[in-house]
With several copies, the nearest count.
Chain A
């Protein structure tokens, strides 16, 4: 398998939303022309508007658009793109697509298909890790077979156990099982979920570590075999295995542990000749021991906390090494400086069991100011589509220490106003005020088991909101009789009557 190398003059971004915009920003700064692809749901989305060129893929569902590698390669050919950046999700960890890019003579901005095959699959990755002397969680070193005697396996590992999909990520296809009798059903369900999400239903089993922290190490390799790490990210604030808040450095990692985990990650990346940006995920036990979980062979959602603490641009570095350049960093220049925290802004209602929400963005006020970063794929007048992930933006703040970063993020969250869909903003405000979180005293089960949103929706806020709604309703009604609340000054009372009439008809 030959690898395509060469200067990148035009880059197709095979993604949408905030990550597509973020990738294009770095490309622009490098003087690289940008090409967007889009589904019918995204025809006037920010990532399309941002690009120099844009090509339609197909109907809204991802399987008919953003997952259609063939259409994406056609667009790349039409545009004359030298390279494709896959972002995260969609085709970013798809070795077959990376291979197709190579065959088509287009640089795939990511590791080689061989690396993806070797370490992108969780079962392979565990075996690789063992060979490289990297500790892993005790478990089955291969996928579960149909009709296998599960009780023997489970007894050998010990309950509770964790069932995980062999492909993919983001918590889909994951189940914790505490009782032997629940095992078979959960394996079946997890397999089904994995099949529909990743097209691969195989699952495996490992020991479930209680109250661990999710710590990941950012690694970066070039084509000459150099690999460095850019320290850890702490991602234990999760819900249903979906990360909600990430920070760097971790409150649980000191310089010594950072060096050990970093060296471990670099060793493993070198073992697969890793190219570009990748992330080694570890479980950190309360006793300080850590276990390799899996590797994400792509850019992570949470990469900005690393960029803010190391003064780097990971996308630029991806593009540079993909084009054949050597790494521009020495390990000793990459020590973390200060602290950064990211709040994922998803269209989910934290007061309604985090249910995903779709709808129009009717109003948007964006935070800014010192050491504050806003990465978004939304704009006022746009909409959140039901067809894609609920992640709509990320708010990231840097501080000279952890507490400053937390207070800055609270300040920035208070500036953020998104009208039209419920978001995670109230969750974040509540979390950042939580004493345990502020002390750094949390683990991957914290949000689900030890944290609650109840009591947050204070009555005086609802009153103030109702007053604002009433006054705005009154103002628009006095101005206009029409349903869109536009500005035709009219007499208050006749306008009122027409409005009541229309609403009467509607009910």
Chain B
């Protein structure tokens, strides 16, 4: 069975097969022999070849959160066929055409909306202010362009990843 995973820029395409005492996992270049503690609960043991790790793993909405040596990895996990489909879709949609989305990097409260739909913005120019954890964060435009849409409203609470504005 094949699995495609993404964490930030990194992509992993892993094939998994059962073998005696565990699994054989391959990413096209390397093969690992894995033992994975199958009890329930969020903290488990995983043995990669001979290296033993204590690993935290839990599903969070659409992603899988994995913690290893304190580092938090957030994986989008899909089977490989599905990943191909998704890429095709994205190629067809606006992603490749120069459209940029401004999404909330953290959950927070929108305390000010500085631009309106139709405004021109320069790269680095603040579009709105998001307050979270006692700090105010300016959300800036990733490039020069025109605001096609501003979805955020001052006073509204937004979730992480929520669409705030679209630049074209």
Contacts and interface: CB of A to CB of B under 8 A. Distances in A.
Interface of A: 44, 48-54, 61, 172, 196-197, 347, 349, 351-352, 355-360, 362-365, 379-382, 386-390, 413-423, 425-426, 428-429, 456-457, 460-476, 484-485, 487, 496, 500, 503-504, 506-507
Interface string B57-97: 11110101111111111010111011001100100000000
B148 interface: no
Contacts of B107: 358-359, 386
A418 B54 CA distance: 12
Contacts of A365: 42-43, 54, 56
A380 B82 CA distance: 32
Contacts of A390: 133
Contacts of B164: none
Interface residues of B, number: 70
Contact of A465 (B27, B73, B160): B73
A419 B106 contact: no
B133 A465 contact: no
A472 B64 contact: yes
Given A428-B70, A469-B73, 16 more contacts: A349-B72, A380-B42, A381-B39, A390-B133, A417-B42, A418-B56, A418-B67, A419-B42, A419-B72, A423-B72, A465-B7, A466-B75, A467-B32, A471-B34, A474-B16, A507-B86
Contacts of B167: none
A426 B69 contact: yes
A197 B66 CA distance: 35
Given A197-B134, A469-B66, A504 B85 contact: yes
Choose among B32, B57, B85, B109 the residue with the greatest number of A CB atoms under 10 Å from its CB.
Answer: B57
Given A419-B56, A419-B57, A463-B12, A470 B3 contact: yes
B82 A417 contact: no
List the 6 closest A-B pairs by CB distance, nearest first: A363-B42, A425-B70, A381-B41, A362-B58, A419-B56, A356-B133
B37 A44 contact: yes
Nearest to B133: A356
B23 A462 contact: no
B142 to A, nearest CB: 15
B132 A358 contact: yes
Contact of A362 (B10, B60, B69, B85): B60
B123 interface: no
Contacts, number: 220
Given A421-B72, A426-B69, A470-B3, A53 B106 contact: no
A465 B55 contact: yes
A362 B42 contact: yes
B43 A379 contact: yes
B3 A474 contact: yes
A456 B25 CA distance: 24
Contacts of B70: 413-414, 416, 423, 425-426, 428-429
Nearest to A419: B56
B48 A355 contact: no
23 contacts: A49-B45, A53-B52, A362-B58, A363-B67, A379-B41, A381-B40, A417-B56, A417-B67, A419-B65, A422-B72, A423-B72, A428-B70, A460-B48, A461-B68, A463-B27, A465-B55, A465-B73, A467-B25, A467-B32, A468-B68, A470-B77, A472-B64, A485-B59
Nearest to A50: B54
A471 B23 contact: yes
Contacts of B16: 470-471, 474
A469 B54 contact: no
Choose among A356, A360, A418, A472 the residue with the greatest number of B CB atoms under 10 Å from its CB.
Answer: A472
Interface string B1-44: 10101010010101010000001010100101010111111111
A59 B106 CA distance: 20
A48 to B, nearest CB: 7
Contacts of A54: 52
A222 B80 CA distance: 61
A493 to B, nearest CB: 10
A53 to B, nearest CB: 7
Contacts of B55: 417, 464-465, 468
A363 B41 CA distance: 8
Contact of B38 (A172, A463, A475): A475
Choose among A53, A359, A464 the residue with the greatest number of B CB atoms under 10 Å from its CB.
Answer: A464
Contacts of B62: 506
Choose among B12, B68, B81, B82 the residue with the greatest number of A CB atoms under 10 Å from its CB.
Answer: B68
Contacts of A462: 7, 10, 12, 73
A146 B79 CA distance: 63
A93 to B, nearest CB: 15
A487 B38 CA distance: 13
Contacts of B65: 362, 419-420
A415 B78 CA distance: 30
Contacts of A423: 70, 72
Contacts of B150: none
Contact of A468 (B41, B66, B108): B66
A386 B108 contact: yes
Interface string B121-138: 000000000001111110
A356 B133 CA distance: 7
Given A363-B41, A380-B42, A469 B32 contact: no
A469 B68 contact: no
